[in-house]
Amino acid sequence: MEIEIISKETIRPSFPTPPHLKSYRLSLLDQLAPPIYVPILLFYSADGFRTNEDHITMYNRLKKSLAETLTRFYPLAGKINGDAYVELHDEAVIFPVPVTAVQLNVFSYGGISVGVYISHKMADGLTLAMFLNAWAETSRGVGETITPCLTSTTLFPPKDMHHRITPIDLIAKEKTVTKRFVFDVISLATLKAKAAAKGSCIDNPTRVEAVTALISMSAKNATRGKSLHGKSSMVITHVVNLRA
C-alpha cells in the first residue's frame, strides 16, 4: 500500500493557554516513563463519505474539534523540556509531530483511518481513550462532558533525576518470557495473612502489596547465583492508569 502525504498542518488549541498553565510539571512516573508512544489506529467505513466534499467537510470538522479538545487536554499541545516540564506555548499539534501526532488517511475506496500517537510521558492508555472520547463528543457537538484530572504531579511529586535509571535500559536484549498468574480470593487472603504474620511493618497489607512481595521474593530466589558479571539487577513495575 502506497501512502501519499497531501498536506501537514499545525492544530493549535482553540483558546490560548492561561499564563499560569504555560508550564506543566511532570510527575515522578512521567519522569520515569520510557521514550515510547501510546498509539491507536481507528478505521471507518466509506458510509457517509461518498464525495470529495464529504471528505473536506469531515476533515475541517476534525480539525476544529481537535483544537477545541486540546484546550482541555492542554499538555498534549506542549513540548517536553528535559525530564521536568512540558512547556506550553500553544505551538500546536502537527500532522504528524514528535510529541503528539494525529494522521488522517483517506483511502481510494472512500473509507478513512485516524491514527493518534501520544508520548507516554504525557499519557497512558486510559488517557488516550479519554482524549479520543472527548474529541469524538466535541466533533459530534454533544457537549463537553469529559475533562481530564491533571493531578498526577500532586500525587507523585517529581524528583531530581540527574542519576536516574531508565527502565527501558534494564530490559535485557535476550529472549524474554511472559507468564500470567491468577490468584483467587482464597489465595489472596492466605497471602495477606502470611505477609502480616511475618513481622511485616505493614499490619494489613493490600492485595497488591502481598502479591508484589511474593513475586519479588520468588524472582530474587530464582536469580540467586545466576547474576551477570557478578552483578544482579531486578526491576519490578506495575502498569497502572494514573494520568486520567
Quick one: which of 37, 67, 33, 19 has its CA closest to 152? 33
- How much is the pLDDT for 103? 92
CB atoms within 10 A of CB 7: 7
Percent of the chain clearing pLDDT 70 (strictly above): 81
- Residue written as cell 489465595? 187
Do 199 and 208 form a contact (C-beta atoms < 8 A)?
no
- For residue 216, the SS3 value is helix
Q: Edge-to-edge strand order for the sheet containing 23-25?
A: 23-25, 85-87, 79-81
Does residue 96 have a cis peptide bond before it, meaning omega lies within 30 degrees of 0? yes
Name the CATH code of domain 10-155 (choices 3.40.50.1100, 3.30.559.10, 3.40.50.740, 3.40.50.1000).
3.30.559.10
Domain ranges across the chain: 10-155, 172-244
Higher pLDDT, 69 or 151: 69
Phi, psi of 233 (to 5 degrees): -125, 140
Note the pLDDT tens digit of each residue in 161-205.
665 555 555 555 667 778 888 999 999 999 888 888 766 677 788
Q: What is the dihedral of CA 86, 88, 94, 100, to 10 degrees?
A: 30
Do 149 and 27 form a contact (C-beta atoms < 8 A)?
no
Cα–Cα dist 134/129, whole Å: 9
Q: Which three cell numbers stand for residue 226?
A: 545466576
Note the pLDDT tens digit of each residue in 197-206.
766 677 788 8
Question: Residue 234 above 90 pLDDT?
Answer: no
Beta bridge partners of 59: none
Quick one: which of 54, 60, 121 has its CA closest to 86? 121
- pTM of the full structure: 0.71
What H or E segment, with its residue span, contains residue 232?
A: none
Query: If you average pLDDT over residues 116-129, what whole number do you get?
Result: 87
